[in-house]
Chain A
């Protein structure tokens, strides 16, 4: 049973802050190592299956038919409603922007998508699960941007194995050095258009490989979790447990150990630091409902609040001994934040497949992994990579909104699946820059009296050049594959659009130039670990969550060993 009594006198081995993708992993690994763990989650409790309130509802069951109340969204969800997974069905899995404000610099456009609830964004994530390669871990060293990663692929490979084994990732092995294969469940199939496009692209460009997305949706039953039902409504919550979330996977494992204490509605405001021992001694939090304050102590703290919120907490935990923020002696705390530069590179009509359709809603699209700036530097004005995600789809009734016509003939036309189209969306590596940073806005506080986070962020020439090349490449590939390109873009969406915000407490060799060492452990504070996206030193061009999980599992094993050996 979860304990909710006053924690003021309690002593834990570890306090984990945040219950999302990495917090769940930290709780699982640390409790399974025999440690007593307090897991603090700022949002409400959402229990697996019983609290997925809209999961089985149809549009006609909803007050605004699934589209949602635009007036409400303009008032309370101005940012979150821009998320493609935000609908009337899922709005309860995203924050209220009016109640959770943040600030941006004058030249910054940043959409910060957040989910404050048990499970965090593990409930709403896109589930794309990719290994990073040495092209990625070596990127900073090669081109001089940012600081060198203190790890390489070999350090993480066994941890990727462990994570994939547990969460279940479906995908196709392709033998590509830039996107290492994992331990996959059987892949979802390419549809008839995607299969043809794969073959036509490979015939022209053997180094470019269109493959099915590697997704944390089960195609084989696993540990009591059911098969993906091809609904593609994952962000409502999945009672089958068919995609990886804290609720479906890591939380049950952590609870099963008997070593977990979970408190929800606990917004951590401060980490306490003892300058004599150079250790963090505990955390303080505010009950989101009652506004009462509590604290707990522990031998070790894992920060997993989400990249920007973990940095926010470190900045807000500044002290006389650490005036730039906890673990901030290097001066780089809050700096070098990133998000993939993301845009729709090409959309094309794909004629010739009218005799075919598909059935079911596959929970993943396709991916064309990076193929530029690997062993040959062939980027036009950029030194890193971009990859594409997308897929082929047929239109349905919403296409009628763009068409003239009314009456019975119009209705009959909309009864049939529309023409096949294919879209390629680019994700470009985001160069780490000191000027892209998080700070505290001391002139504005949130409802708990904590200074709001301020985001200063801009993409630069590297990302713009990558997206320009991505647009040209995407159009060329779809044209060669028989498509008729309708449009495409070469400028990124606002920062945060990719929902891969990361960095701010980067990992590095040098304590004077980085916040964390190669074990995700603070250089300044030996019993503090930051294992969410904040630790990232570069962004690569593939989705980062699998890497966050692998780094968390690796850090947890190291931390548990240190604790047991008496080194902490």
Chain B
């Protein structure tokens, strides 16, 4: 089996499995305050963006495991500080101010929607990717707290690597290691552990 077809097989099998178990984000999406409930278009946008950040490889990508919906829920509930009002200078920024809610917090998803523009979803994949990569590079070239994209990207990573696929297929997951080995050789097969809680907290 070639690498490509093997990847496709695994990804397809993963998707079948996921249809049986609803992704975690979807479980609470329906409980959101109506003001925070996303439109189908917004859900599609976040799913697509998530998939460009963490695409399907040997394991399913972020979009397929429900990361888009998770991010929308997370943004509504303010994970990673996303419901705290931005600094006053940022709030006054004309690129930010149109997307502030009445409580002063930023509607990150609306900002991203506008930032990418109405035609982004219809672009060919390579152009979508290039635009998002440019946005990402620009965000990380700035003051770390200044660009809303960093929070969105962070929540995409949270959504993916705390999903069963991201946490236990893409990375290793071992809730009960049973022992501590202090010195283990790194090999090409070595993967990080999503259950290394200290690394998750402080890495």
A58 touches B191 (CB 8 A): no
Distance, CA A362 to CA B198, complexed state (A): 9
B180 touches A360 (CB 8 A): yes
Interface locus among A67-75, A315-323, A464-472: A67-75
B177 touches A231 (CB 8 A): yes
Distance, CA A70 to CA B105, complexed state (A): 14
B185 touches A396 (CB 8 A): no
Counting contact residues on chain B (CB < 8 A from A), the size range is 35 or more
Query: Nearest residue in A to B57 (C-beta to C-beta)?
Result: A408
A2 at the binding interface (Cβ < 8 Å): no
Determine the chain B residues whose CB is within 8 A of the CB of A399 once the complex forms. 203
A548 at the binding interface (Cβ < 8 Å): no
- Residue of B79, B179, B183, B197 most packed against chain A (CB within 10 A): B183
- Residue of A67, A69, A412 most packed against chain B (CB within 10 A): A67
B127 at the binding interface (Cβ < 8 Å): no
A192 at the binding interface (Cβ < 8 Å): yes
Known: A397-B192, A398-B200. A58 touches B175 (CB 8 A): yes
A418 touches B181 (CB 8 A): no
Known: A58-B168, A232-B197. A70 touches B177 (CB 8 A): no
Known: A58-B164, A356-B185, A359-B184. A395 touches B178 (CB 8 A): no
A403 touches B192 (CB 8 A): no
Distance, CA A421 to CA B196, complexed state (A): 14
A400 at the binding interface (Cβ < 8 Å): yes
What 1/0 flags go to B68-101 for Cβ under 8 Å of A? 0010011011111111000000000000000000
In chain A between 229 and 248, which residues have their CB closer than 8 angstroms to a CB of chain B?
Answer: 229-233
Known: A230-B177, A361-B197. A71 touches B184 (CB 8 A): no
B133 touches A407 (CB 8 A): yes
A423 at the binding interface (Cβ < 8 Å): yes
In chain B between 151 and 203, which residues have their CB closer than 8 angstroms to a CB of chain A?
Answer: 153-154, 157-159, 161-164, 166-168, 170-171, 173-186, 190-203
B52 at the binding interface (Cβ < 8 Å): yes
B164 touches A412 (CB 8 A): no
B157 touches A401 (CB 8 A): yes
A389 CB to nearest chain B CB (Å) = 13
Determine the chain B residues whose CB is within 8 A of the CB of A442 once the complex forms. none
Known: A67-B79, A398-B200. A411 touches B170 (CB 8 A): yes
Determine the chain B residues whose CB is within 8 A of the CB of A229 once the complex forms. 176-178
Distance, CA A101 to CA B15, complexed state (A): 48
What 1/0 flags go to A56-85 for Cβ under 8 Å of B? 101110111111111110100000000010
A330 at the binding interface (Cβ < 8 Å): no
Determine the chain B residues whose CB is within 8 A of the CB of A360 once the complex forms. 174, 177-181
Known: A65-B158, A399-B203. A361 touches B185 (CB 8 A): no
B27 at the binding interface (Cβ < 8 Å): yes
B55 touches A401 (CB 8 A): no
A411 touches B55 (CB 8 A): yes
A291 at the binding interface (Cβ < 8 Å): no
What 1/0 flags go to A300-337 for Cβ under 8 Å of B? 00000000000000000000000000000000000000
Interface of A is mostly: loop
B28 at the binding interface (Cβ < 8 Å): yes
B123 at the binding interface (Cβ < 8 Å): no
B24 touches A63 (CB 8 A): yes
A359 touches B190 (CB 8 A): no
Interface locus among A183-191, A265-273, A450-458, A550-558: A183-191
Distance, CA A417 to CA B178, complexed state (A): 20
A414 at the binding interface (Cβ < 8 Å): yes
B137 at the binding interface (Cβ < 8 Å): yes
Determine the chain B residues whose CB is within 8 A of the CB of A230 once the complex forms. 177-180
Distance, CA A410 to CA B167, complexed state (A): 16
B203 touches A394 (CB 8 A): yes
Known: A357-B184, A401-B153. A406 touches B53 (CB 8 A): yes
What 1/0 flags go to A211-234 for Cβ under 8 Å of B? 000000000000000000111110
A393 touches B202 (CB 8 A): yes
A71 touches B180 (CB 8 A): no
A400 touches B157 (CB 8 A): yes
Distance, CA A391 to CA B196, complexed state (A): 14
B9 at the binding interface (Cβ < 8 Å): no
Known: A60-B164, A357-B190, A397-B192. A70 touches B81 (CB 8 A): yes
Distance, CA A361 to CA B185, complexed state (A): 17
B19 CB to nearest chain A CB (Å) = 16
A404 touches B140 (CB 8 A): yes
Q: A56-B175, A60-B24, A394-B196 are in contact. List 16 more A-B contacts (CB 8 A).
A: A58-B164, A60-B164, A64-B77, A64-B79, A65-B158, A71-B77, A192-B183, A229-B178, A355-B186, A395-B199, A396-B171, A401-B150, A401-B153, A406-B53, A407-B129, A416-B192
Q: Could you jot down 8 A-B contacts, CB within 8 Å?
A: A70-B81, A354-B186, A393-B198, A397-B157, A404-B136, A404-B137, A407-B53, A410-B53
A interface residues, Cβ below 8 angstroms from B: 56, 58-60, 62-72, 74, 84, 188-192, 195, 229-233, 354-362, 391, 393-408, 410-412, 414-418, 421, 423
Closest 4 CB pairs of A and B: A395-B203, A360-B177, A404-B140, A65-B162
